[in-house]
Amino acid sequence: MSAVSSLSSIPLMGGLDDSPRGRVLRAAAHLFRTQGYERTTVRDLAKVVGIQSGSLFHHFKTKEDILCAVMEEGIRFNHDRMKEAVETGTGPRQQLRNLIRAELESILGETGDAMTVLVYEWNAVSPDKQRELLAMREDYEAFWLQVLADARAQGLLRHDPFITRRLLAGAIGWTRNWYKRNGPVTLEQLTDLVLEMALGPQ
Amino acid sequence: MSAVSSLSSIPLMGGLDDSPRGRVLRAAAHLFRTQGYERTTVRDLAKVVGIQSGSLFHHFKTKEDILCAVMEEGIRFNHDRMKEAVETGTGPRQQLRNLIRAELESILGETGDAMTVLVYEWNAVSPDKQRELLAMREDYEAFWLQVLADARAQGLLRHDPFITRRLLAGAIGWTRNWYKRNGPVTLEQLTDLVLEMALGPQ
Amino acid sequence: MSAVSSLSSIPLMGGLDDSPRGRVLRAAAHLFRTQGYERTTVRDLAKVVGIQSGSLFHHFKTKEDILCAVMEEGIRFNHDRMKEAVETGTGPRQQLRNLIRAELESILGETGDAMTVLVYEWNAVSPDKQRELLAMREDYEAFWLQVLADARAQGLLRHDPFITRRLLAGAIGWTRNWYKRNGPVTLEQLTDLVLEMALGPQ
Amino acid sequence: MSAVSSLSSIPLMGGLDDSPRGRVLRAAAHLFRTQGYERTTVRDLAKVVGIQSGSLFHHFKTKEDILCAVMEEGIRFNHDRMKEAVETGTGPRQQLRNLIRAELESILGETGDAMTVLVYEWNAVSPDKQRELLAMREDYEAFWLQVLADARAQGLLRHDPFITRRLLAGAIGWTRNWYKRNGPVTLEQLTDLVLEMALGPQ
DNA sequence: CATGAATGAGGCTTCATTCAT
DNA sequence: AATGAATGAAGCCTCATTCAT
């Protein structure tokens, strides 16, 4: 059923160590993305981790908790990444480029499974959990809006920061479905393309 | 469970009449998007349509068939829309604008549920059906690539048509998650924003 | 599913004309034997007959009624056959041979499906119907017991008629599972073999 | 629905212990024979065993697997019985008598349900499984044919071994439908009657 | 009489979760 | 913590039967 039978082929997801918990979350992120949350059974997951299905419930109360944990770890790790992107950039243009670059990494790299699951399985989580997760995303988005507002203030950006952010978020998130890291376009080039979409040529 | 208890609140999806089949597909598109395919039971669906669950299987062989039919109708209807967009435009710039506008309509309008389901529930369909559906999408995408290639030939577009299309597809598809039709930005303005992302200012 | 798609290949069962009723019963006897009663759907049956499933219920009240009618017709037709077998024989030995021969015909010939169904699907019919059918079989069996009793009285038969009848019934009924009419053993030879089982050599 | 509500009234079937698997198979053999395979629901079966219906599927993959297992165990156990019958007999006559006796035991005793199911529900199993089961029966039948061939070689048997076997199989198998163990005829007497059918008086 | 869409009860099977060992 | 058998609710689908046309 599953195309994955061991964890060895799943890259270490950012921030997750080799503890049982970490191994479950990495396997879950992968399976939830490739098969879908509902179509992944706890037995599928246990098999990939190399334990029995009953044992999962010593680490997580419910299957939904596993899903939420995947999402949380994804947000948490990328929050740090974004923060760093802003802090290491000097000036809005470079900061924005850093953000784009970082978000592309987050989508196309080791946290890609988690970020995809965050979007695609969003309404598998209860409203309560949705609220919690939305709160976590809020300051994540705040980085973007702040940088875009700065860019606008400096005349770099011609349009509304909010709308620009949304359009960029769509373009970036979708790369998961087509971009190949070892294809003809480098990640730097892709970053520049997206940056140009936001700010125009030059 | 379902927030929807009758079909009356679901707009007529493009091309689907009031036949039992059409009513099932409209309800399915809506439920599959709001609840997810796996989390929508055939009883949920039947209740919204106003029939018994067993009766669904007079019109469709399996639940998966319903999903595929939703996707097919979505593709089919929008194929015609895209074709018209290209035909009624004179010159690549106008054709491209028409395409963007048409795809925004397709995402934000009455076929939005179907198009979202097409993306979000993609791996709920069997590989065989995936192949069929991909074949249908192919000439849909061909419209875009042709127009973008023309734009490039005329110097309107500075980058690779394929990549540009993917970035636009992401930006446009994501609007479903944030754009409000009765908000401050009109669809025409949104169209222009996306067009500017593709071609730059002016 | 069914290996039969038309009635043309099913021989006319004894006593059943080409009326709708007769055609249904012949098809039913065949399908019930080859697939089993429960595994044969009324749609299967209707398709072979060449009508719609709903139309079956103009001729029979329920599916079970069809099964019972098959059984009844089988018994009724073979009752006449047995009667004739007894009447045309002179002396117990010839009468017994005639009965054996007639019952082999009934199992291996055109009523074989019905007779097999009578045995194999016996507990698909309600107790009430079972009683009715048992009553019909009673005088059928009376022919046998009478002839065997006569044979015993004449010293032809060494054992209890009742037990002898049961053993013969088993041997004869089982022929359906192995005897081939166009094989090396003729029906007359088979008849003699069974007769010898009953009466011993000579 | 079921006339049986506990396992206590079902005799231990040959070779089956009190493991969950054994208890399921014994209950299944009984229910499948008395109600028919299709008319026995997995809930019926679970109730008799004293477990929940879902638990059945920890021991057997499908309902059909349960049927096949019943058949297999029946064949396997009786294979050993037949082998012993041949080995403990000296000379074809005694061997044949032992076989008859053993098969009567197998039909009328604790494996009777399984053997009946084997015959009556034969076409409820898939062609693949039929092949497997036929292969198992093959060497079972080989015992009979060998002994009958020996008998023929010694002049004890006047007719073809194959045909004789089939007639005996029918007579023996049918005893399930009429013979009462605590009736006027002992099993030994019945055995002798069948033996006489095969070899003639003396 | 025939049709065929609709019914709705019920069947098999799956699966997250529990718990005694 | 781990196991794995057991649970029991719920899911998809089938099918005999009905009935308006």
- Across the range B94-113, mean pLDDT stands at 96
- Per the prediction, chain D carries an average pLDDT of 92
pLDDT at site C139 = 84
pLDDT, tens digit, 9 for 90 and up, residues B56-83: 999 999 999 999 999 999 999 999 999 9
Q: Is nucleic acid strand E under 7 Å from C20's C-beta?
A: yes
The residue from D59, D75, D102 where one domain ends is D59
Query: Which residue is the nearest neighbor of F2, CA to C1'?
Result: A55
In this structure, the answer to whether residues C125 and C184 fall within a common structural domain is yes
In this structure, the answer to whether residues B181 and B112 fall within a common structural domain is yes
Q: Is nucleic acid strand E under 7 Å from D140's C-beta?
A: no
Query: What distance in Å separates the CA atoms of residue C72 and residue C49, rounded to the nearest whole number?
Result: 20
Note whether residue B1 is domain-resident. no
φ, ψ of residue C185 in degrees (nearest 5): -105, 125
pLDDT at site C1 = 41
Contacts of D201 in chain C (CB under 8 A): 158, 200
In this structure, the answer to whether residues D120 and D176 fall within a common structural domain is yes
Kindly report each contact of residues C154-158 with a partner whose C-beta sits within 8 Å and lies 24 or more positions away, as own/partner. C154/C92, C156/C92, C156/C93, C156/C199, C157/C198, C157/C199, C158/C200, C158/D201
- What CATH number is given to the structural domain containing C194? 1.10.357.10
User: Is B touching A (3+ C-beta pairs, cut-off 8 A)?
Assistant: yes
Distance D15 CA to E8 C1' (A): 43
- Nearest CA among D158, D138, D146, D165 for reference residue D86: D146
**Percent of chain C residues past pLDDT 90, beyond the cut:** 86
Note whether residue D2 is domain-resident. no
- Nearest CA among B85, B138, B73, B84 for reference residue B111: B73
**Percent of chain A residues past pLDDT 70, beyond the cut:** 93
3-state SS, D71-104, equals HHHHHHHHHHHHHHHHHHCCCHHHHHHHHHHHHH
Identify the residue with better confidence: B28 or C7. B28
Query: What distance in Å separates the CA atoms of residue B132 and residue C155, rounded to the nearest whole number?
Result: 80
In this structure, the answer to whether residues B98 and B193 fall within a common structural domain is yes
Contacts of A159 in chain B (CB under 8 A): 193
In this structure, the answer to whether residues D145 and D182 fall within a common structural domain is yes
**pTM of this structure:** 0.91
Q: In whole angstroms, how large is the CA radius of gyration of chain C?
A: 18
Note whether residue C27 is domain-resident. yes
Residue for token pair 């032992």: D98
A2 pLDDT more than 50: no
Q: Which amino acid is at C154?
A: Q
Note whether residue B88 is domain-resident. yes
In this structure, the answer to whether residues B87 and B41 fall within a common structural domain is no
DSSP C22-68: HHHHHHHHHHHHHH-TTTS-HHHHHHHHTS-HHHHTTT-SSHHHHHH
Q: Do C170 and D166 count as a contact with CB atoms less than 8 A apart? A: no
pLDDT at site A7 = 67
In this structure, the answer to whether residues A29 and A87 fall within a common structural domain is no
- Across the range C172-182, mean pLDDT stands at 96
- Across the range C117-122, mean pLDDT stands at 97
Note whether residue B2 is domain-resident. no
In this structure, the answer to whether residues C19 and C108 fall within a common structural domain is no
Contacts of C201 in chain D (CB under 8 A): 158, 200
Note whether residue D1 is domain-resident. no
Kindly report each contact of residues B132-141 with a partner whose C-beta sits within 8 Å and lies 24 or more positions away, as own/partner. B132/B68, B133/B68, B133/B71, B133/B72, B133/B75, B136/B72, B136/B75, B136/B76, B136/B79, B137/B75, B139/B79, B140/B75, B140/B78, B140/B79, B140/B82, B141/B165
In this structure, the answer to whether residues C119 and C184 fall within a common structural domain is yes
Q: Is nucleic acid strand E under 7 Å from B184's C-beta?
A: no
Number of domains into which chain D is organized: 2
Query: What distance in Å separates the CA atoms of residue C109 and residue C103, rounded to the nearest whole number?
Result: 9
| C38: nearest CB among D36, D178, D193 | D36
Query: What distance in Å separates the CA atoms of residue B191 and residue B97, rounded to the nearest whole number?
Result: 7
Q: Do D170 and C171 count as a contact with CB atoms less than 8 A apart? A: yes
pLDDT at site B1 = 40
B2 pLDDT more than 50: no
Query: What distance in Å separates the CA atoms of residue C85 and residue C87, rounded to the nearest whole number?
Result: 6
pLDDT at site C116 = 97
Identify the domain containing residue D106 by its residue range.
63-199
Residues 6+ apart with CB under 8 A from B66: B24, B25, B28, B45, B56, B60
- Across the range A28-56, mean pLDDT stands at 97
> Which of A167, A175, A178, A191 is the best residue to mutate to test the B interface, defined by the most B CB atoms within 10 Å of its own CB?
A167
In this structure, the answer to whether residues A150 and A96 fall within a common structural domain is yes
Positions in chain F where some atom is under 7 Å from a protein CB = 1-19
pLDDT at site A1 = 41
Task: Provide the pLDDT confidence category of residue D17 given band limits of 50, 70 and 90.
Answer: confident
Is D188 at the interface with chain C, CB within 8 A? no
Exposed/middle/buried for residue C160 (C-beta within 10 Å: 0-12, 13-18, 19+) = middle
Nearest nucleotide (C1') to alpha carbon of D52: F7
Contacts of C171 in chain D (CB under 8 A): 167-168, 170-171, 174, 197
Contacts of A189 in chain B (CB under 8 A): none
Q: Which residue of C has its CA nearest to D167?
A: C171
Write out residues 5-34 of B within 8 Å (CB-CB) of A. Answer: 34
D1 pLDDT more than 50: no
C175 pLDDT more than 80: yes
Identify the residue with better confidence: D139 or A180. A180
Note whether residue A47 is domain-resident. yes
In this structure, the answer to whether residues A111 and A194 fall within a common structural domain is yes
Is C163 at the interface with chain D, CB within 8 A? yes
**Percent of chain D residues past pLDDT 70, beyond the cut:** 93
D41 pLDDT more than 70: yes
Length of chain D: 202
The residue from D21, D36, D59 where one domain ends is D59
pLDDT at site D140 = 86
Note whether residue C1 is domain-resident. no
- Across the range A153-175, mean pLDDT stands at 97
In this structure, the answer to whether residues C30 and C103 fall within a common structural domain is no
Per the structure, the residues numbered 12 to 41 in protein chain A that have their CB within 7 angstroms of any atom of strand E are 39-41
The residue from A25, A40, A56 where one domain ends is A56
Exposed/middle/buried for residue B17 (C-beta within 10 Å: 0-12, 13-18, 19+) = exposed
- Chains in touch with B (3+ beta-carbon pairs under 8 Å) read A
| D121 close to D135: Cβ distance less than 8 angstroms | no
Task: Provide the pLDDT confidence category of residue B4 given band limits of 50, 70 and 90.
Answer: low
- What CATH number is given to the structural domain containing D12? 1.10.10.60
Three-state SS at D181: coil
